[in-house]
Amino acid sequence: MALRLALGNYRPAKQPDPLGRDYIGYFPRMTEAEAWQAGRGVWPLDQKVVARERFTLITGQGVVRAIAEIGGLSVHGDKKAVEGRLLAPGHPMYDAYFNRPDPLANASRNSVTYGDLPEEEPFRLRPCGCGCGQDVERAFVPGHELRAIQSRVREHFGGDVLAFVTWVDKQLPDGGTAA
């Protein structure tokens, strides 16, 4: 499935904007990079649902203005922004949808939509994130996320879980524990 984020009309972003943007929304002659920056966040996205998605389509005035491969989400309070890289000509998703009508248009007023697109089929499976070699539709085979964490704790922290947790806490912007 793909994630479609529909831009409204151009307007100044509420300040301070968590992504440092001056504006959000669509305007004519917008570049792909501008559409991506305006449309990738911040949204009330479900992390578990987005983790299953591979591509994001950003639309403006009913036309696909940018397409990106999802690399993850960044959390901004109760909302999230999609992280990823823009696709270019030659990629099947780009060639099929860029600058064409929104393939996931519907009667809903919700800007966030999920849907299956036939060009995604060759990209549905990817290697499990733990390195086991199995192909999956999600980031991990069920239960393998723990295997990946345990492997990194052993490799980088000598198996000391407390050292890992302390390190993670120090990496967080607020210097505290994850919520």
In this prediction, residue 89 has a pLDDT band, given cuts at 50, 70 and 90, of very high
Distance CA 89, CA 120 (A): 16
Write out the DSSP string of 73-121. EEEETTEEEEEEEE--TTSHHHHHHTTSB-TT--S---SEEEE--GGGG
| Least confident interval from 10-19, 64-73, 77-86, 135-144 | 135-144
How many CB atoms within 10 Å of residue 23?
14
In this prediction, residue 176 has a pLDDT band, given cuts at 50, 70 and 90, of low
SS3 content of the chain, % helix, strand, coil (to 5): 25, 30, 45
